[in-house]
Amino acid sequence: MSVDTFYLEYLSELFQTNRNRKNALDMSKYMKGHFHFFGIKSPLRQKIMREWWQGESIKKEYDLKSLISALWKLDEREFQYVALDFGKRFKRLFTPESIPFIRECITTKSWWDTVDTVASHFTGVVVYQYPKIGKVMDKWIDDENMWIRRTAILHQLNFKERTNEDRLFCYCEKRMHESEFFIRKAIGWALRQYSYVDGNAVLQFVKDNKSELSTLSKTEALKALKRKVKI
């Protein structure tokens, strides 16, 4: 499969045909006005994607990255959502060589709606399949770009029992002094996700750091344990 102008123009035509201006305004407002939208919600977008993509497949890492890159350059946010959908569908194709490309996705048109999927499905799958890439995350947690730091915190969201607990807690300790909302939220989310695996470990971490963790981080971290604990 190759990305050519015809494919992108056809997708654009389908989106234009299904444009909803009221939804577009609401969606843009929800995203703080950062992006333009066609106003197409997820169920319809998925239907349009199936019509657009029927009979096609992706078998090479290069083709996957080319498709995502082409979609990332287009204006309306739905194009990036399509890119994320294909990244999730074919994430097995990502390798350590994808990391610079993934970083570019994180730092371009950055907001939580794309970064969080890239963190857990693109970045996470590479580290999961190639654990040595965890060393890259050890650098990302200190990166000057907030979205890169958020990605480092969130990349293990789907690891479950294979979560590197030491790395998770280390990252949370490193960044728990930040006042940035998206970092505080990420810390709480990552801890909550791990609490399904080892609630006692998360509870102890929160207790040990209760004076340093933000209220937001603590609240998010303990949501799944809220009936069992009081901090």
At 1, the pLDDT band (50, 70, 90 cuts) reads very low
Longest distance between any two alpha carbons in the chain, whole Å: 58
Helices 165-175, 199-208: axis angle to 10 degrees equals 30
Q: What pLDDT score does 4 carry? A: 58
At 41, the pLDDT band (50, 70, 90 cuts) reads very high
pLDDT, average across residues 81-88:
96
For 125-165, the pLDDT digits (tens) are: 999 999 999 999 999 999 999 999 999 999 999 999 999 99
58-64 own/partner pairs: CB under 8 Å, 24+ apart: 58/1, 58/86, 58/90, 58/93, 59/1, 59/93, 60/93, 61/93, 61/94, 61/95, 61/97, 61/98, 63/1, 63/2, 63/3, 64/90, 64/93, 64/94
pTM comes to: 0.94
Q: Which domains are assigned to the chain?
A: 1-93 (1.25.10.90), 102-231 (1.25.10.90)
Average pLDDT, the chain: 95
Q: What pLDDT score does 197 carry? A: 97
For 156-168, the pLDDT digits (tens) are: 999 999 999 999 9
Q: What pLDDT score does 5 carry? A: 61
Q: What pLDDT score does 164 carry? A: 98
At 7, the pLDDT band (50, 70, 90 cuts) reads confident
Q: What pLDDT score does 57 carry? A: 85
Q: Is residue 6's pLDDT more than 70?
A: no
